């Protein structure tokens, strides 16, 4: 699996803070269409605008790490097992976030990569889902609390002479957690990504992925800290952007909080063997189309 992923042309990675002072929200899912297309989709939540851009990283791009004292560290291309991950304070945040990643290849296989206490942990990820803390294996164990989950409605229950009927559609998911905490989002991400009808094509799967991730869209103010920051601002996570990666067509789709129109970058029309990373702006305001005659 590791060898296959190293050779994969495109892989989608999700980075979320794991044990930071304020745990921020990220949700990742995977869909596989009937034509074999694999779609990785995710959200990015943060309490401030992190000025995101789409970054195209050339195949085999050489990387250089940074040591805790700010000096140049190890150089590597794909030997993640040999990379040491110390607690390096990220200047823009003021703390050292631990991170974990989800990686999918074009065959649909998936792994979760976590550095816990500087130690590398690689987990097979058969459901293709990832959220934040706790660790990935904890989330998989927690799924056992929802063994009664069903994508179909539950049958009526008879108690003596009383017959209890569900109020309406969706009774099979009654009790599914609906809050924005990582454990609850993990459970919902598994439930929704596993229960949708299988999309026919990659294009269908992309749109389906965006529909699923609508369930994880956090509006500004709905998930906030109880204290203001040093500047008197209320810190509240919101969904900065949502994206979907087509690992067959090599296309990256995204929308932002300011612009819900889905936009796309075609990797195959770029220099994937180039020497430099390419930055594409995600900025743009909502374009509301009038239909008046």
Q: Which of 9-13, 16-20, 153-157 has the highest mean pLDDT?
A: 153-157
- CA 187, 132, 283, 248 dihedral sign is negative
- The pLDDT value recorded for residue 94 is 74
Cα 275 to Cα 59: distance, rounded to the nearest angstrom: 9
Pick from 255, 182, 170: which is nearest to 216 by CA? 182
Cα 225 to Cα 234: distance, rounded to the nearest angstrom: 7
Q: What is the DSSP string of 195-223?
A: HSPPPSSHHHHHHHHHHHHGGG---TTSE
pLDDT band at 98 (very low <50, low <70, confident <90, very high): low
Strand partners, 281: 53
pTM of the full structure: 0.86
Contact 45, 237 (CB under 8 A): yes
Q: Which residues have CB under 8 Å from 179's CB, separation 6+? A: none
Side-chain half-sphere of 133: how many Cα atoms within 13 Å? 13
Task: Please state, in angstroms and as integers, the Cα–Cα distance from residue 49 to each residue in 144, 235, 256, 258, following that order.
Answer: 36, 11, 11, 11
Cα 169 to Cα 81: distance, rounded to the nearest angstrom: 47
Question: Domains in the chain, please, with CATH?
Answer: 2-281 (3.60.60.10)
- CA 46, 48, 54, 59 dihedral sign is negative
Q: Which residues have CB under 8 Å from 2's CB, separation 6+? A: 81, 111, 122
- Collapsing DSSP states into helix, strand and coil, what is residue 71? coil
- The pLDDT value recorded for residue 15 is 36
Contact 104, 38 (CB under 8 A): yes
pLDDT band at 81 (very low <50, low <70, confident <90, very high): confident
Percent of the chain with pLDDT over 90: 65
């Amino acid at each position: 699996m590791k060898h296959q992923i190293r050779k994969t042309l495109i892989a989608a990675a999700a980075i979320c803070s794991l044990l930071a002072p304020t745990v921020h929200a990220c949700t990742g899912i995977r869909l596989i269409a009937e034509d074999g297309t694999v779609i990785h989709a995710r959200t990015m939540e943060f309490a401030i605008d992190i000025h995101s851009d789409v970054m195209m990283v050339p195949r085999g791009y050489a990387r250089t790490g940074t040591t805790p004292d700010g000096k140049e560290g190890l150089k590597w291309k794909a030997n993640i097992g040999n990379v040491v991950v110390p607690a390096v304070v990220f200047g823009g945040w003021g703390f050292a976030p631990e991170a974990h990643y989800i990686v999918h290849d074009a065959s649909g296989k998936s792994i979760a990569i976590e550095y816990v206490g500087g130690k590398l942990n690689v987990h097979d990820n058969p459901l293709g889902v990832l959220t934040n803390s706790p660790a990935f294996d904890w989330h998989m164990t927690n799924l056992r609390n929802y063994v009664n989950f069903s994508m179909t409605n539950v049958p009526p229950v008879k108690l003596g002479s009383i017959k209890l009927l569900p109020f309406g559609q969706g009774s099979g998911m009654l009790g599914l957690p609906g809050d924005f905490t990582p454990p609850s989002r993990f459970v919902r991400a598994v439930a929704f990504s596993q229960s949708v009808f299988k999309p026919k094509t990659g294009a269908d799967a992309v749109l389906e992925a965006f529909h699923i991730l609508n369930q994880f869209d956090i509006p500004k103010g709905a998930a906030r800290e109880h204290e203001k920051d040093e500047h008197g601002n209320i810190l509240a996570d919101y969904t900065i952007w949502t994206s979907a990666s087509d690992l067959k067509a090599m296309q990256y789709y995204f929308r932002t909080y300011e612009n819900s129109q889905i936009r796309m970058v075609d990797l195959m029309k770029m220099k994937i063997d180039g020497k430099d990373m390419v930055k594409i702006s995600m900025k743009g305001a909502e374009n509301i189309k009038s239909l008046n005659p």
